[in-house]
Amino acid sequence: MANRRLIVDVVAAAAIKVASVSVLLVILGMFAQIAITALPLFESPSISIGTLSTTRTGPAADLRVSQDSVANDVGSLPGFVDDHRLGVSNIHPAVAPEPTKGSWLDVRDTIIEQLHLKAGSDGLAPSVITRYFIPAGIQAMSSISLSRHFVVLDRAGVIHVYRLGRSQARATFKEPVEVSGINRVGWLDENTFALYSHEQQPLVRSVKALTNTLSLADLFSFRQYEGYPLPTLTWQPRVVDGAESKYSLVPLLWGTMSAALFSLMLALPVALGAAIYVGYYMPPVFREAIKPMIEMIAAFPGVVIAGIAMLWLAPRLQYALAEFIGIVLTVPIIVALSGLFLNRYFQTKPGRHFSKRLPMVVLLVLAIAIYSGAKLGEGVEGLFFEGSVVLWLEHYYGLSVSYFNGVLVGIALGIAVFPTIFSLAEEAIFATPKGAATGSLALGASQWQSFIDGVLPIAAPGIVAAIMLGLSRAIGETMILLLLSGNTPIQSSSPLEGMRSVAATLAIELPEAAVDSTHYRVLFFSALALFVLTFFINTCAQLLRRRWRRRYGVAA
């Protein structure tokens, strides 16, 4: 009997260990899985001697077709000699050549120039946007593939693969080929090309990791895209076939950070003020009733806050922007002024530090302040802004106020992050040893002085941690950004414009991205960035809180 029990115990222990370690591995391995999916994105392409890909039926027939098409291809070299120019190739092989797009390659002996028609004072004039140098001289070059690559064989027999708009070759095949007689390079599919000569069999080369890779610089620095006169930071994954995909993460990160910033600007003062009142001024009896009540705001899911904000708040905000600004500016001033002049009438008895009447009075003052703030905003708008701030801004400053704007996002996101900040900051303030405040009060300091000099230095790490966790919540919130930001990947610091965040982009685009395409990998990479960012912020906050607890022996 005893043996069986012991065996059961040992087996159960082993089973529990294995099972929970594997669960832990799965959740802690999330990072690894996302990284493993994302990181092949940065593999650098390499060229190897290739065979025709097996997905194509009848390689011989294909080769023949390709050779037939040689003569017709715009990029084939001998036909286009004009002075010292070797040839001109239109850069839109996939779509019909459009003169209006006005971008082409000018191929000379040792240099290829990508030109773009730019409107100047005397009409359209070509200007160079990218130069590709081939010092050894061009022997032959291909047309441009769907993924915007072209192959150049130089006179020394070295093969270079270029990406349009990047003057550095993406891949180079160092092993020289016998160039004599080779007069033509042609793509067989997206990753395979052949070098043709009249005498010999074509040489087939394939490029590994060409079409679904890019460099880190593509994601974070200015890039030249076709149809654009200057290098830009743009997020625009391929929407229609043939259009160039633009994967700059900067506008998305910008959108995420600015939304988080707007929300913190609105939520922080309210959350910290409320935390101070509940955690410091209120006696524990009232605190126990009020704190869970305020924390109930967390019961509103992001999608519900976003729904209310979109259907109820957005139309109002559009025509009541002035009233909103009036309220935000007036309410704190009126409340502070009434505190300055009225506080003595609502003072507590000596020895008592909390007045139950005060919140009621403050509620009244708030109502009056909100009403007068709105009226003031309206009045100022009528007097100085010709009746509408929105139209005035648009008329005089050319500032457009979009329906989905940073203010709207800031309010909704602020409500979402409010409970996080409030709850943790309040906990930090309340858990501070009471002696810190009472000692200072006994020495004759005012309540506020006792808070600033007694409580705050002790609670500060906890409050900072609360703000950091609120920031991380704001960065990761998806539904509010999805519904309210307009999802326009523009980069503007104006709170009156829309934005597009990383999280919302993931929700919109990931279900439609093909597995292991560039788009899919870039999205996984942005998820990785989001993960690392929030994990880093959370870890810092955790460590701060741990140290704070250990130091003050608070069992919170």
328 binds other proteins (CB under 8 A): no
Q: Which stretch binds other proteins (CB under 8 A): 210-218, 219-227, 288-296, 432-440?
A: 288-296
269 binds other proteins (CB under 8 A): yes
266 binds other proteins (CB under 8 A): no
Q: Residue 226 corresponds to which tokens in the numbers above? A: 């076709």
511 binds other proteins (CB under 8 A): yes
Closest residue by Cα to residue 175 from 40, 86, 50: 50
Q: Which is nearer to other proteins, 71 or 514 (CB)?
A: 514
Q: Which stretch binds other proteins (CB under 8 A): 1-9, 47-55, 59-67, 230-238?
A: 1-9
Q: Which stretch binds other proteins (CB under 8 A): 51-59, 98-106, 303-311, 384-392?
A: 303-311
Q: Which residue has the tokens 């001109």?
A: 88
Report 395-434 residues binding other proteins (CB under 8 A): 415, 418, 422
553 binds other proteins (CB under 8 A): no
Q: Which stretch binds other proteins (CB under 8 A): 83-91, 92-100, 390-398, 479-487?
A: 479-487
Q: Which is nearer to other proteins, 220 or 536 (CB)?
A: 536
* Cβ contact 46:172 at 8 Å: no
366 binds other proteins (CB under 8 A): yes
What is residue 485's DSSP assignment? S
Among 531, 549, 552, 554, binds other proteins (CB under 8 A): 531
* Cβ contact 419:486 at 8 Å: no
303 binds other proteins (CB under 8 A): yes
274 binds other proteins (CB under 8 A): yes
Residue type, 129: I
294 binds other proteins (CB under 8 A): yes
3-state SS record for 125-172:
EEEEEEEEECCCCEEEECCCCCCCEEEEEECCCCEEEEECCCCCEEEE
Q: Which residue has the tokens 């990218």?
A: 130
Count the neighbouring beta carbons within 10 Å of the beta carbon of residue 555. 5
Q: Which is nearer to other proteins, 160 or 473 (CB)?
A: 473
* Cβ contact 87:77 at 8 Å: yes
User: How far, CA to CA in Å, does 154 sit from each of 160, 416, 516?
Assistant: 8, 60, 33
Report 62-91 residues binding other proteins (CB under 8 A): none
338 binds other proteins (CB under 8 A): yes
438 binds other proteins (CB under 8 A): no
**Which residues are CB-neighbours of 12 under 8 A, at least 6 positions away?**
none
Among 27, 60, 240, 285, binds other proteins (CB under 8 A): 27
302 binds other proteins (CB under 8 A): yes
DSSP string, 210-248: -TT---HHHHHS-B--TT-SS-B--EE---STTSPPEE-
The CB-of-304 to other proteins minimum distance in angstroms stands at: 4
The CB-of-386 to other proteins minimum distance in angstroms stands at: 23
Q: Which is nearer to other proteins, 4 or 84 (CB)?
A: 4
* Residue 249: strand, helix, or coil: coil
171 binds other proteins (CB under 8 A): no
Q: Residue 439 corresponds to which tokens in the numbers above? A: 């000692």
Among 503, 519, 522, 544, binds other proteins (CB under 8 A): 503
Residues paired with 93 in a beta bridge: none
352 binds other proteins (CB under 8 A): no
270 binds other proteins (CB under 8 A): yes
CA distance 550 to 431: 12
Count the neighbouring beta carbons within 10 Å of the beta carbon of residue 75. 24
Among 196, 225, 277, 404, binds other proteins (CB under 8 A): 277
Q: Which is nearer to other proteins, 343 or 400 (CB)?
A: 343
